[in-house]
């Protein structure tokens, strides 16, 4: 798996967790589809729109060592991006002007993220311009279901809806407090990091028959020393307060004891 897609699911956080209502949380999302669709084989990304979401994307990509071009129509946002060193280049321009975005070399970037979101007309026009100009892969942020449909109609290759994703993630954390991390493989299947249920405490994996009883594959078991054992032996004893990582259908995951 490419380093860019390494999911931070292998860390133990059995003593609790906090929900951060910030842009970094929005970018993280409840699934890995957003990052998966950024095409990591490419080394250059352009981000249009430097609000909280766009800045978080820029900073994450930049810190991972990718070349990032940041664009916004507000000079203040561009200067801030340069000051904070979250991108390799930053330009102030109107992304609805096709000639303007061509002049900054946007066609050299195989993947462009339209992070405008809140300005419907600007977001749609920018996405359309990018596709008509020949940009191979455009990821666009939507602020509503209607916005998402319009972006798809004008050619967006992938549309992300971070506010909705954050709402789903928050609801899940509140109703399934034992689940620490959840990554959607598809709409029906996930990988989850979960605190060992009290019912599992002191029992071996063989005793629990997790595959037979719950239809789940146990991928890893955490330890008190914050390390994970991958593909643990059937004789491994599960301990209360540590974590396990399982793969399976959402329906089966929801059947695990609390």
Q: Look up the CATH number of the domain holding residue 242.
A: 3.30.70.1450
Statement to judge: residues 26 and 150 lie in one domain: yes
Statement to judge: residues 159 and 180 lie in one domain: no
Query: Of 135, 165, 195, which closes a domain?
Result: 165
Statement to judge: residues 154 and 183 lie in one domain: no
Statement to judge: residues 122 and 153 lie in one domain: yes
Statement to judge: residues 39 and 156 lie in one domain: yes
206/75 Cα distance (integer angstroms): 61
180-189, 216-225, 246-255: segment of lowest average pLDDT = 180-189
Parallel, antiparallel or unpaired: strands 67-72 and 44-48? parallel
pLDDT in tens, 151-176: 999 999 999 887 777 776 676 666 66
Report pLDDT for 48: 97
7 inside domain: no
223 inside domain: yes
State pTM to two decimals.
Answer: 0.61
Query: Of 165, 189, 212, which closes a domain?
Result: 165
Statement to judge: residues 144 and 109 lie in one domain: yes
- Between 181 and 32, the more confident residue is 181
40-44, 56-60, 198-202: segment of lowest average pLDDT = 40-44
144 inside domain: yes
pLDDT band at 39 (very low <50, low <70, confident <90, very high): low
6 inside domain: no
4 inside domain: no
58 inside domain: yes
DSSP letter at 120 equals H
For residue 185, the SS3 value is: strand
pLDDT exceeds 80 at position 192? yes
Statement to judge: residues 48 and 128 lie in one domain: yes
Statement to judge: residues 118 and 146 lie in one domain: yes
219 inside domain: yes
Statement to judge: residues 159 and 32 lie in one domain: yes
pLDDT exceeds 50 at position 8? no
- Minimal CA–CA distance to 221: which of 250, 194, 182? 194
Helices and strands (DSSP H and E) totals, the chain: 11, 11
How many domains does the chain divide into? 2
Report pLDDT for 185: 79
pLDDT band at 111 (very low <50, low <70, confident <90, very high): very high
pLDDT in tens, 193-213: 888 988 999 999 999 999 999
| CATH, residue 84 | 3.40.50.720
Statement to judge: residues 130 and 188 lie in one domain: no
pLDDT exceeds 60 at position 232? yes
Report pLDDT for 147: 93
Report pLDDT for 169: 66
Q: Hey, which bits of the chain come out as E strands?
A: 44-48, 67-72, 89-92, 111-114, 137-141, 158-160, 179-186, 189-195, 217-222, 228-230, 243-249
Structural domain span for residue 25: 14-165
* Burial status of residue 160 (CB atoms within 10 A of its CB: 0-12, 13-18, 19 or more): buried
pLDDT exceeds 90 at position 7? no
Query: Of 165, 188, 223, which closes a domain?
Result: 165
Statement to judge: residues 210 and 136 lie in one domain: no
Mean pLDDT of 115-126: 91
pLDDT exceeds 60 at position 86? yes
133 inside domain: yes
């Amino acid at each position: 798996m490419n380093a860019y897609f390494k999911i931070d699911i292998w860390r133990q956080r059995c003593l609790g967790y906090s929900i951060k209502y910030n842009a970094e949380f929005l970018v993280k999302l409840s699934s890995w589809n957003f990052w998966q669709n950024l095409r990591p084989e490419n080394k250059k990304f352009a981000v249009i729109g430097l609000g909280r979401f766009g800045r978080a994307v820029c900073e994450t990509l930049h810190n991972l060592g990718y070349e990032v071009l940041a664009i916004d129509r507000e000079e203040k946002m561009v200067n801030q991006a340069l000051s904070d060193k979250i991108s390799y280049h930053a330009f102030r321009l109107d992304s609805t002007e096709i000639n303007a975005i061509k002049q900054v070399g946007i066609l050299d970037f195989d993947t462009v993220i339209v992070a405008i979101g809140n300005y419907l007309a600007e977001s749609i026009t920018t996405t359309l311009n990018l596709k008509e100009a020949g940009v191979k892969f455009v990821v666009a942020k939507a602020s509503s279901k209607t916005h998402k449909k319009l972006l798809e109609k004008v050619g967006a290759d992938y549309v992300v809806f971070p506010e909705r994703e954050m709402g789903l993630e928050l609801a899940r954390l509140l109703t399934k407090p034992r689940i620490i991390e959840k990554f959607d493989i598809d709409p029906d299947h996930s990988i989850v990091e979960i605190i060992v249920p009290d019912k599992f405490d002191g029992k071996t994996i063989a005793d629990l028959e997790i595959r037979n009883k719950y239809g789940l594959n146990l991928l890893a078991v955490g330890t008190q020393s914050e390390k994970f054992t991958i593909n643990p032996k059937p004789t491994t004893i599960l301990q209360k307060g540590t974590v396990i990582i399982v793969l399976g259908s959402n329906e089966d995951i929801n059947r695990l004891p609390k």
